[in-house]
Amino acid sequence: MTAERCKAIVEDLEVLEEREEKIERQLLIIKRLQNNTLLRLFRILGTKCFDQLRGFNVWERNLVPNCLYATWQMVVIRTSYLVDNFM
């Protein structure tokens, strides 16, 4: 390998590292936005126990008004997917 080729490879690696750092920052922002969105959603649904989100078996029917129970079940299913896969 020539010195020019080595220099080009080093420059490419530096660019890739910068891109990786930028992507990591973007992922962190996305996770924060997801957390904020979930928190707002659970406040809207009438619960104050967001910290228990990770223990879905803790949630019982009496924690949510009957009119919201079916909606709540859909939210739990969907947010469990988000929590398991993105948080």
- pLDDT grade for 57, boundaries at 50, 70 and 90: very low
pTM for the whole structure = 0.41
Q: CA 79, CA 61: separation in Å to the nearest integer? A: 17
DSSP sequence for 36-82 = HHHHHHHHHTT---GGGGG-GGG--GGGS-HHHHHHHHHHHHHHHHH
Side chain identity, residue 81: Y
pLDDT for 27: 80
- Record the tokens describing residue 74, joined without a space: 């859909």
Residue 56 above 60 pLDDT? no
Side chain identity, residue 24: E
Q: Which of 5-9, 26-30, 56-60 has the highest mean pLDDT?
A: 5-9
Average pLDDT, the chain: 66
Mean predicted confidence (pLDDT) in 14-41: 79
**CB atoms closer than 10 angstroms to residue 12:** 10
